[in-house]
Amino acid sequence: MKIQKILDIFAVLMVCVALYFAFIFAPSEKVMGAIQRIFYFHVSSAWIAFFAFFVTFVFSILFLIKQNYLFDDIAESSAEIGILFCTIVLITGPIWAKPAWGVWWTWDPRLTTTTILWFIYAGYLMLRKFIDEPDKRARFASAVGIIGFIDVPIVFFSIRWWRTIHPNVVQEGGGGLHPDMTKALLISVFAFTVLYAALLLKRTHIASLTRKIDSLEG
Partner 1 sequence: MNYLRTISAVVKKDLLHELKSREIVVSMLLFSVLTVVVFSFIFEPGSEFKNRVVGGILWMSVIFAGLLGLNKSMMSEVDGGNFSALMLAPVDRSAIFFGKAISNFLFMTIVEAITIPLFMVLYNVNIFNTGFLPLVVFFLGTYGFAILGTLFSIISVNTRTREVMLPLLLLPVMVPVILASVQALNIYVLGNDVVESYKWLKLLAVFDIIFTVVVFAVFDFIVED
Partner 2 sequence: MQSFNYLFAGYTVIFVLLGFYFVSIGSKVSDLEKRVDALTEED
Tell me which residues touch partner 1 (CB under 8 A).
64-65, 116, 119-120, 122-124, 126-127, 130-132, 136, 139-140, 142-144, 146-148, 150-151, 154-155, 157-159, 161-162, 165
For residue 196, give the nearest of 57, 10, 20 by alpha carbon.
10
What is residue 29's three-state secondary structure?
A: strand
Closest distance to partner 1 from the beta carbon of 25 (Å)? 39
Interaction with partner 2 in 60-99: which residues (CB under 8 A)? 84, 87-88, 91-92, 95-96, 98-99
User: Which residues are paired to 29 by β-bridges?
Assistant: 33
How far apart are alpha carbons 163 and 76 in whole angstroms?
33
CB of 71 to partner 1, least distance (A): 13
| Ramachandran angles phi, psi of 117, nearest 5° | -55, -45
Euclidean distance between CA atoms 75 and 53, whole angstroms: 8
Cα–Cα distance between 117 and 17 in angstroms, integer?
30
Is 212 a binding residue for partner 2 by CB under 8 A? The answer is yes
Nearest approach in angstroms of CB 99 to partner 2 is: 5
Nearest partner of 71 among 124, 23, 141, judged by Cα: 141
**Which of 7, 18, 41, 113 is close enough to bind partner 2 by CB under 8 A?**
41
Which one of partner 1, partner 2, none is in contact with 37 (Cβ closer than 5 to 8 A by kind)? Answer: partner 2
Residue 71 per-residue DSSP state: H
Number of residues written out for the chain: 218
Per-residue binder mask for partner 2 (CB under 8 A), 7-36, x = binder: -x-----------------------xxxx-
- Contact positions vs partner 2 (CB under 8 A): 8, 32-35, 37-38, 41-42, 45, 84, 87-88, 91-92, 95-96, 98-99, 195, 199, 202-203, 205-206, 209-210, 212-213, 216-217
